Amino acid sequence: MKYRVTYAVLWLLTAIAYFVPWASVDGETYTGWQFTVPFSFTYLIGMLIGLVVLITKFKPITMTIAAGVLMILGIIGAFLGYGLAKVIWWIAGAEVTTEAGIGFAFIASMLYMVAGAYAGKKMVQRR
């Protein structure tokens, strides 16, 4: 039971990170949900896979690692989108900055992928 709670807390951290500001353009903030839409979907799909593991305990190690990889790909895409936005808005004269949420999402995703796979393995083992 304690490993399932641990897994749930790790998953919840990644979910919270998705709704924390990742970047801002001229004072308007964008969360992971709003930022670089095609890549934010990979993060969302990773979260949904993690939720399936949490509920069903189906292939917890493989699915957790796949979910973590998808989340990290979403963050890498967000960084690429940020770089492109920085160039475009620099030409237009706007200020583009990153927010703490993107770093929090990266750390939470890495922690989820590693510790979540271990917790997932432990939550399906019988004593």
pLDDT of residue 126: 65
Torsions phi, psi of 96, nearest 5?
-120, 125
Give the pLDDT confidence of 50-83 residue by residue, as tens digits. Answer: 999 999 999 999 999 999 999 999 999 888 888 8
Mean predicted confidence (pLDDT) in 8-21: 94
Q: Say how far apart CA 36 and CA 50 lie, in whole Å.
A: 21
Neighbouring C-beta atoms of residue 105, cutoff 10 Å? 26
How far is residue 43 from each of residues 19, 26, 48, 89, 114, measured CA to CA in Å? Answer: 11, 25, 9, 25, 16
Q: Say how far apart CA 68 and CA 109 lie, in whole Å.
A: 6
pLDDT of residue 81: 85
**Exposure letters 31-49 (e unless 16+ CB within 10 A, then b):** bbeebbeebbebbbbbbeb
Residues 6+ apart with CB under 8 A from 57: 120, 123, 124
Q: Using the predicted structure, report yes or no on whether residue 25 has a pLDDT greater than 90.
A: no
Torsions phi, psi of 111, nearest 5?
-65, -45
Domain spans in the chain, listed from the N-terminal domain onward: 2-124
Task: Establish how many alpha carbons lie within 13 A of residue 91's alpha carbon, considering only the half-sphere containing its beta carbon.
Answer: 5
Q: Using the predicted structure, report yes or no on whether residue 36 has a pLDDT greater than 70.
A: no
